[in-house]
Amino acid sequence: MDGGIRENDISRIVELDREHIWHHLTQHKPFETGEPRVIVEGKGMRVWDQKGKEHLDAVSGGVWTVNVGYGRESIANAVRDQLIKLNYFAGSAGSIPGALFSEKLLEKMPGLSRVYYCNSGSEANEKAFKMVRQIAHKRYGGKKYKVLYRDRDYHGTTIGALSAGGQDERNAQYGPFAPGFVRVPHCLEYRAQWDLTGEAYGQRAADAIEEVILAEGPDTVGALCLEPVTAGGGVITPPPGYWERVQEICKKYDVLLHIDEVVCGIGRTGTWFGYQNFGVKPDMVTMAKGVASGYAAIACLVTTEEVFSMFKDDASDPLNYFRDISTFGGCTAGPAAALENMRIIEDEGLLENTLNMGKRLIGNLDALAEKHSVIGDVRGAGLFCGAELVKDRTTKEPAEEKMVQAVVADCMAQGVVIGATNRSLPGYNNTLCFSPALIATTDDIDAITDAVDQALSRVFS
């Protein structure tokens, strides 16, 4: 544990936390009798809590963020050097790391050419929604303003982003939401809405988007916002044939394709971006979590030159530019950390490692499914995998959320941090989530699935 904090000090930290901190996604009643968890230190794939207990982190900081692992001195040094030179200036001016990172990033995103910096995934998505509305005003008399989003997808926590939120339980009690957001069906074949499989199912799920566009009126639909692989909605890998059709539909109806890469972006699926697994050409891409692996807050909205041009084509119009502000989009720590983060991924071959370790993770989970009938479906891409738990494989009745959480808690007791869909989808918070850092080794992957094996045996015995 951190040499600077002694035993007495750490109990004071825990007390201060219990008294004053309001944790995210947390019911605090249990802390009246028990202790909140405080994470003190991290190195590589592992973190240590206030008791000095070591945990193998299979969820990259809880929410798919620490892609290059903990304790990277080279990122800390890059950030430190940059902060001393210039910590901040508003985004109306440029910065050295901002320019350098944009070049590096765009090398990985052929067809896209402009980077807008901000500081969270929600914020980046809000920017994209604002662009769609402004384009509607400029080009279509304000009419083509609607944003389509998909059942089970998540785009962030703000009211605008929740308005595009496909997780009813996550949204519950936070309405009313903003108008102009319209839901399309999900594409999870395991929970198929149509009696089709494989490519036929994928095309049908995409056709359902066309049906919504036609019902709303194509002249009112400005954009379609999708996660490449749905994350918190249950790790949903799209069926074959889906993305090809989605692209065609967007072209046909002049609908901008906005891909939310907040989770998949920067390597999670073994490609730089999730959409690159499917050969699609987005108009707008948003990213956050793994961009700097959590060493600094940074999010980006990246667009084509065509989208960008619409905001400068008439300089005589006082409203004809993107009139948006992101105070912390001007923090230079973000792009400084992101540059070094990207260098690490390239120099250490982490995309390749992600593909190899992802295969091992899926293979191990498939093997567990042979042994534990409670595993109904295993899915994933790269180091981004899910195992959906069911009471009965034939009926596919979902396992109860409390049993799924018991598996997570059992793994935690064993010193392995895994995740699960939680309070997101009424009746369907039944998917275990795995997203270890891209540096994971075969031993790490095996340790993760061994813990799950033991937990399933105990919880469902």
In the complex with ligand PLP, the residue whose CB is nearer, 286 or 303, is 286
Residue 53 to residue 401: CA distance in whole angstroms = 26
What letter represents residue 42's amino acid?
G
| Binding-residue pattern over the window 263 to 282 for ligand PLP, x denoting contact by CB under 6 A | x-------------------
Q: Does 171 bind ligand PLP (CB under 6 A)?
A: no
Tokens of 212: 């919504």
Residue 350 to residue 436: CA distance in whole angstroms = 12
Q: Is 346 helix (H, G, I), strand (E, B) or coil?
A: helix
DSSP-derived pairing of the beta strands 299-303 and 284-287: antiparallel
- DSSP secondary structure code for residue 177 in this structure: P
Q: Does 151 bind ligand PLP (CB under 6 A)?
A: no
User: Which residues, numbered 283-312, are part of the site for ligand PLP (CB under 6 A)?
Assistant: 288
Residue 145 to residue 300: CA distance in whole angstroms = 22
- Please name the residues in contact with 66: beta carbons below 8 A apart, sequence gap of 6 or more: 42, 57, 60, 293, 294, 437
Stretch that binds ligand PLP, among 44-52, 71-79, 117-125, 386-394 (CB under 6 A): 117-125
Residue with tokens 């999010």: 299
User: Which residues, numbered 386-415, are part of the site for ligand PLP (CB under 6 A)?
Assistant: none
In the complex with ligand PLP, the residue whose CB is nearer, 128 or 416, is 128
Stretch that binds ligand PLP, among 44-52, 138-146, 259-267, 389-397 (CB under 6 A): 259-267
- DSSP secondary structure code for residue 237 in this structure: P
In the complex with ligand PLP, the residue whose CB is nearer, 263 or 407, is 263
Residues in the chain: 461
Give me the helices (H) in 393-441, please: 401-413
In the complex with ligand PLP, the residue whose CB is nearer, 62 or 415, is 62
H or E segment to which residue 352 belongs: helix 350-371
H or E segment to which residue 54 belongs: strand 54-57
Give the one residue of 116, 149, 154, 272 binding ligand PLP; rule: CB under 6 A. Answer: 154
Residue with tokens 């042994």: 371
Q: Is 167 helix (H, G, I), strand (E, B) or coil?
A: coil
Give the one residue of 37, 155, 245, 379 binding ligand PLP; rule: CB under 6 A. Answer: 155
Q: Is 206 helix (H, G, I), strand (E, B) or coil?
A: helix
Tokens of 391: 């009471």
Residues 160 and 178 sit within 8 Å (Cβ to Cβ) = yes
Tokens of 441: 């080794």
In the complex with ligand PLP, the residue whose CB is nearer, 50 or 120, is 120
In the complex with ligand PLP, the residue whose CB is nearer, 221 or 236, is 236
Q: Does 102 bind ligand PLP (CB under 6 A)?
A: no
Q: Does 419 bind ligand PLP (CB under 6 A)?
A: no
Q: Does 120 bind ligand PLP (CB under 6 A)?
A: yes
In the complex with ligand PLP, the residue whose CB is nearer, 24 or 29, is 24
Stretch that binds ligand PLP, among 119-127, 194-202, 348-356, 418-426 (CB under 6 A): 119-127
| Binding-residue pattern over the window 223 to 242 for ligand PLP, x denoting contact by CB under 6 A | ----x---xx----------
Q: Does 433 bind ligand PLP (CB under 6 A)?
A: no
Residues 186 and 231 sit within 8 Å (Cβ to Cβ) = no
Tokens of 83: 């902060």
Stretch that binds ligand PLP, among 52-60, 121-129, 242-250, 446-454 (CB under 6 A): 121-129
Give the one residue of 49, 260, 377, 410 binding ligand PLP; rule: CB under 6 A. Answer: 260
Number of residues that bind ligand PLP (CB under 6 A): 16
Q: Is 195 helix (H, G, I), strand (E, B) or coil?
A: coil
For residue 374, the minimal CB distance to ligand PLP (Å) is: 26
In the complex with ligand PLP, the residue whose CB is nearer, 121 or 222, is 121
Residue 275 to residue 109: CA distance in whole angstroms = 10
In the complex with ligand PLP, the residue whose CB is nearer, 63 or 455, is 63
User: Which residues, numbered 54-83, are part of the site for ligand PLP (CB under 6 A)?
Assistant: 63
In the complex with ligand PLP, the residue whose CB is nearer, 125 or 203, is 125
Residue with tokens 């035993």: 7
For residues 170, 174, 175, 180, the Cα torsion angle rounded to the nearest 10 degrees is -60
In the complex with ligand PLP, the residue whose CB is nearer, 60 or 354, is 60
Nearest residue to ligand PLP, by Cβ distance, number only: 121
Residues 379 and 358 sit within 8 Å (Cβ to Cβ) = no
Interface positions with ligand PLP (CB under 6 A): 63, 120-122, 125, 154-157, 227, 231-232, 260, 262-263, 288
